[in-house]
Structure 1
Amino acid sequence: MACPTKQHVDIVEFRKSRLNTVKVRQAVLALFSQHKLKQQSNSTLFSDEKYLQIQLTTWKISGGKKKLLKINLPHPVRSDDVDICLISRDEPGKDSESCIQHVQDLFQEKGVSNIKEVIPLKDLIAEYKSFESRRKLVRMYDMFLADKRIFHRLAPHTGKEFYKRNKYPIRVDMEKFFFHSSMCVATTEHSVEDAVDNVIAAVEGLTTKISNGWNNIKALHLKVEHSIALPIHESLVFEDWWAENKIFKEDIQKMKRQLTLEKRTAETDDKEEVSEQKKARKKVKRKTK
């Protein structure tokens, strides 16, 4: 029996998502339940909202220029009317204005338009020392983000007003947010059904935009910060192998680099998860004593 050719392929059909909704719902429910239990064990007094992320692994890597994919979701992750302030790191060798311009240029290049203000860390430390100035700052914006690289330095310079108003900055990995093959599709504040709807819509959008559509998707995982990544789709073979004339040396090198990166990311996530579990157990032991 002869192998099919590209001319025999229904382009719309092979791009269509064939994601199992039941698996998605089970994964979302498990991740949200774990997050809720972790909050209860830590006895948090403020909202500890986390983003639900889709991690995408493909069989073939496009050699084209990296670009931002815009996908419509039925339930917004954040309203367009929300005023967001980003606390950025201090770029080496740059003054405050240059740091702000650097971040704004990056946002403009990637199509991010809902960040209303950028405050470098050194400006936060210098201009918001008093309790009153911090209280005014926290009232000015609906939400705060902070670069992951300076997140550990924020506590002494934000104060209890951020906690009291549930606006403590959310940690953002700037490099992964823009360049890693993952996307935020919901938060732990969404209902399970709304989160499932967003995951389904996001994957349907991805299959229309990536090379080779659904058949090029090797694996899809869901996770929230510091959680394990739960698989919602895995493919053991590239279904469009017959349509490829050659496997170029550059493609193999790219695949090896991607696998190495995924392995390092998984190891880091595992270490962070173990660390979080140890901290949670210690807190429980202290309470029982």
Structure 2
Amino acid sequence: MTNTETMKNPKLIPINGKVHKKVDSDLLGKAVAALVTHHQKKVDESEKLSLMGNDTIVQVQIGLELAPVRPSPKPIRVMIPHPIFQVGQENSDDDSLEEPEICLIVKEESKLWVQDMIRTHSEHMKHVKKVLGLESLRKKHAQFSQRRELLSKYNVFMADDRILPMLTKALGKEFFKAKKLPIPVRLTRKEALPFAIRNALNATYMSLSEGTCITVKAGSTAMSSSKLVQNIEAITENAVANLPRKWANIRSISIKTPNSVALPVY
């Protein structure tokens, strides 16, 4: 098979000059359809109607043979073809997707110019709803109840990558449990900030935990099945590429929602 054919088929991965299928597209398509059907059945059976809608996230679970030697909570960017959030032209046909509401954590001295960038580049930075200085975070959100309120206000957190190590203590364990660790963005080039925000929203993220299970958000049931399949295929490639020993360390890959059983696809 030629390199051109490999590029057109993202599920085909060249290894030692040969091309291998790692995740069967037909099996994956059936698993996604079953997951969406199961979720819709649960929604239909429920008497509760959520004001936030009844869609739920779809996750990829990667089981490892060996736990990472150097685990880290720092989010690792995983590129996907279809954004999880409603971010504009990229997925304007998915108007049922959740809009991102970003809290951006920065150095105290960066706060004013970042706020000015939001005003002057409102089209590209309209999703940044709060610019929070590091010292303000420490002083005004020192109590558990204050951090919990902050956590509930925004569905995306980003932070200047230079202060990321300082946020572990400042944010507390609730952010880790909720999988809302701040996404690192570079603030060293002011003019590039709008693009950094947009690029961050066009990806999904994973962290290297201490155990042998890694979970990556692939999308939601608000997305079409075809887009979910394409995102999952991209995750199985791009996430595995960031893991120690790569495919040699993969025991299993499954997909699930927070309230479903895991459906194996590899």
TM-score, normalisation: structure 1: 0.46
Instruction: Name which one, 1 or 2, has greater alpha-carbon Rg.
Output: 1
Greater strand fraction, Structure 1 or Structure 2 = 2
